Amino acid sequence: MSDSSSTEVLVALLRAQIAGLAVGERLPSSRDLIARHGVGPVTVSRAIAQLAAEGAVVTRPGSGTYVARRPRRADEAPDTSWQAVALSGRDHDPAADADETDGQSGALPPGVIALSGGYLHENLQPTRALGAALARAARRPDAWHRAPATGLAPLRAIFARQAGSGVSPEDVLVTGGGQGALSMLFRAVAVPGSPVLVESPTYPGALAAARAAGLRPVPVPMDDDGIRPDLLADAFAMTGARLLYCQPTFHNPTGTVLAPDRRRQVVDIARAAGAFVIEDDFARHLGHGGSVPRPLVADDRDGTVVHLTSLTKPASPSLRIGALIARGPVMRRLQGMRRVDDFFVARPLQEAAVELVSTPAWDRHLRALSAALRDRCATLADALERELPGWTPVRLPGGGLHLWLRLPAVPADAALAGTVLTDSAFADAARAQGVAVNAGRRYFPAEAPNTHVRLGFAAAADTAELTEAARRLAAAARSLGYSGG
């Protein structure tokens, strides 16, 4: 018998033997195979090599030959269970918070009205101005050159002017939107395992970013004037925290504006604790026509406030351009993290942002957006009052994209007396009626003191959809045994 035919016979015999063995079981040694089948060592070596090439066995020098994992059938579901061991040791899984931001996780089914999410409907976005700005930016001879790590000088100057006269372009670091900047900040400023103080309720994306950085969010209650300074001072003293995350202007989700007498007080309390204040100023361009207070960073001279802003909310979800404003060593640390994380923000997008906000079209867009948001906010609030009297929002905000609705505690159906209407149950009932809303529980870093839902008025197509959404929400309430009374 030739060597090749001997090898084929041995391969066939071994395949039959492997079929009856479990994954990881050891095959007989080469010496045993030679003795059992009456073949030479070359034949054994060739047979094992062929089976290894086919993926039937794995060889471990000095140990032996073992049955390999069987190839998966085309219709067989992937098995990723091995990753549980490889990923063990993480205190928190960032993927668990994948839905804890303001963006929709995907397109809503046809016919569902969007009162969830935190972006503008496409008919509120300055689409033509964005297209023209991007086209002009692309024609620049240096459009595809490497951008400075800190951002283009004209764009840094724009963000500095927006923040106030006390801020210079050297204090500005251009970022790829607000969420990435939050993640960078939490990793740069705080040590994993340490506490970070947050308003309660607060933006879920901030909670997700803090937890992904290994931080422990600690709630500080709010009232109608914003975060409570007395409880803030207590929280710093009890936790030893060195970081406060807050939204002083048109807070998400409540729409609260931090009262004038508290704005300096909050910064002073943080300064006395040796702590930073992250001021998330996402809604500066989302006012409804009234006055918008100066950002905290404008009156800060000691580097206590780290200011975060973005063009994403007032323009488009895909205009991922934002800025961090900071002074002192913390800025140098942030610049260092930029060089480690992603080097710089794409220059064409920065150039397009400069082109967009430097033209009269941007000012016209902001004026039109302000009027549209005011109209939508009033339309939804009025429709809720008609369809669900007694379910009034916590406040009618002077800016932002949302209403914060507290759910009633008393059902209309006497048979349901004593039951509690949960935010998740109402959100599910609303979805069944064709309206997507945000359950309020995820806005709280700890236990929620009351039951709320957040209703957005910017993602719907028009005011007619908002009116119809209120009607559907009333139907959802009735399906759970609650009326508007």
Q: Are residues 351 and 202 in the same domain?
A: yes
Provide the phi-psi class of 65: left if phi over 0, else alpha when psi is between -120 and 50, else beta.
Answer: beta
**pLDDT above 80 for 76:** no
265 located within any domain: yes
82 located within any domain: no
Q: Single out the residue of 473, 463, 465 nearest to residue 431, CA to CA.
A: 473
169 located within any domain: yes
CATH assignment of the domain containing 194: 3.40.640.10
Q: Are residues 212 and 294 in the same domain?
A: yes
Q: Are residues 448 and 425 in the same domain?
A: yes
Contacts of 380 (CB under 8 A, 6+ apart): 115, 403, 455, 457, 466, 467, 469, 470
* Residue recorded with tokens 């991922």: 320
143 located within any domain: yes
**Average pLDDT of 23-39?**
89
Could you say which of 359, 381, 400 is where a domain stops?
Answer: 359
Which residue range(s) make up the domain with 47? 3-67
Q: Single out the residue of 309, 337, 335 nearest to residue 321, CA to CA.
A: 309
CA distance 432 to 269: 46
Could you say which of 311, 330, 359 is where a domain stops?
Answer: 359
Q: What is the pLDDT of residue 123?
A: 94
Q: Are residues 256 and 350 in the same domain?
A: yes
Q: Are residues 135 and 260 in the same domain?
A: yes
CATH assignment of the domain containing 29: 1.10.10.10
**Average pLDDT of 446-458?**
89
484 located within any domain: no
**Average pLDDT of 415-442?**
85
Q: Are residues 194 and 318 in the same domain?
A: yes
Q: Are residues 45 and 181 in the same domain?
A: no
Could you say which of 45, 67, 89 is where a domain stops?
Answer: 67
CATH assignment of the domain containing 426: 3.90.1150.10
Question: What percent of the chain clears pLDDT 70, i.e. is strictly above it?
Answer: 89
**pLDDT above 60 for 56:** yes
- Tell me the C-alpha to C-alpha distance, in Å, between residue 25 and each of 53, 65, 309, 329: 18, 9, 59, 58
Segment 200-252, tens digit of pLDDT: 999 999 999 999 999 999 999 999 999 999 999 999 999 999 999 999 999 99
Cis peptide before 253 (omega within 30 of 0): yes
Segment 124-178, tens digit of pLDDT: 999 999 999 999 998 988 888 888 888 999 999 999 999 887 889 999 999 998 8
**Average pLDDT of 69-86?**
68
**Average pLDDT of 183-205?**
94
Q: Are residues 151 and 195 in the same domain?
A: yes
Segment 395-410, tens digit of pLDDT: 899 999 999 999 987 6
Q: Are residues 145 and 53 in the same domain?
A: no
Segment 286-340, tens digit of pLDDT: 999 988 999 999 989 889 999 999 999 999 999 899 999 999 998 899 888 888 8
CA distance 321 to 159: 11
**pLDDT above 80 for 78:** no
Segment 10-22, tens digit of pLDDT: 899 998 888 888 8
**pLDDT above 50 for 414:** no
**Average pLDDT of 439-449?**
89
What is the torsion angle, in degrees rounded to the nearest 10, for the CA atoms of residue 8, residue 11, residue 17 and residue 22?
-160
Q: Are residues 339 and 379 in the same domain?
A: no
Segment 81-125, tens digit of pLDDT: 666 666 666 665 555 555 555 655 567 888 899 999 889 999 999
Q: Are residues 131 and 275 in the same domain?
A: yes
Q: Are residues 316 and 369 in the same domain?
A: no
Q: Single out the residue of 321, 52, 333, 276 nearest to residue 177, CA to CA.
A: 321
User: How many independent structural domains does the chain possess?
Assistant: 3
